[in-house]
Every structure is written in structure tokens, then in C-alpha cells.
Amino acid sequence: MPESSLIKKYANRRLYDTRESRYITVADIRRMVEKKQHFTVVDAKTGEDLTRTVLMQVINDYEAFSADSIMPISMLRQVVQLYGSKFAQQFVAFVEENLIEFMKQLDQHDLIDAALLATMKQPLNDELVARLVGAGGQMAAPLQSDSTPLDELRSEIRSLQEKLDALTQAIET
């Protein structure tokens, strides 16, 4: 398990990262979460765990000041309505289970994107590139052949589809 940071919150609302030996901001906390770094926030005087409170502050700041908030007002109203209801714990379990699954899917998607980008950095078709760009970077004259540019594009798409199929198969195994 990666090393956890201890963040101390002082009465003046300042946050101090004991691992980095520096004061940090709520924006730094957000970046730590985005990087999946584990941390605990405690009250510097009492030792009370304030992690939840600080994470709620991160969410609040992001929702209040960001153009791309993810919690519409209607959803926020519904969540508030659940507080104190007999269904609150079921809601928490439901959201947590589905969020975990959603994050797994995002991680899988990121792996696929990374693998696809790696293959795209290679020339897709050396022969086509050689025909398009001649020596010295000048556009080369097309080779004389019976194929049309549309045929060449179809061929290139088939080649890309084969690469994508092979990549998908490699990831699934």
C-alpha cells in the first residue's frame, strides 16, 4: 500500500502536509485525490479525523466554482431529502457499490486508451507514408496503380480495425 500522508488542519484553517513539510491548499488536496494519493486530515490540536470534512469542502468548492460541476441541483435536493430517512444507508451502499464499479470501468478505459495511443504513435502504413511524403519532405507523386484514394482509405481503415481488434483481444486476455 502506498505511503499515506498526514495532513494537519490548524485553527486558522491552514493545512500542513507533514510528509512534504509544507502548507497546502484545498486545491492541493484535490490534486492528491486525483492522483489517488492516500491521506488523512486531522485537527492539529485534538487529533480528530477531519478527512471527510475536508473532502466535502473540496467537492463544495469544485461544485460552486467550476463550470463543469457533476451534481445538478435536482440531484443535490434528492440527496438532502435522504438525510435522516430510513433509506439513507441503502442509498449510501448503492452509490458506493456503483461508484466503485464505475471507477473500475474508467480505469479499464484508461488502459485501453493508453494502449491505443501507443499503437497510434507508430506509422500506420509505411508504404502509404512513403507515397505521400517523398525525399526532402515534398509531396511525392502518387504511384501509378489501379486503386483510387478511396480504395486506399478503405484499406487503411481495415488495417486500423485489425489493429484495434488485436489490441482489444490482447487486453481481454
DSSP per position, 12-25: TS-EEETTTTEEE-
pLDDT tens-digit readout, 135-146: 444 444 555 556
pTM listed for this prediction: 0.61
For residue 9, count other CB atoms closer than 10 A to its CB. Answer: 19
∠ Cα 117 123 125 (to 5°): 125
Yes or no: say if 41 and 15 are a contact pair by the CB < 8 Å rule: yes
Residue 161 grid coordinates: 480495425
Instruction: List pLDDT tens digits, range 60-113.
Output: 998 888 888 889 899 999 999 999 999 999 999 999 998 898 888 888 877 776
Q: Residue 8's beta-bridge partner residues?
A: 16, 42
Q: Where are the domains of the chain?
A: 5-70, 123-134+142-172
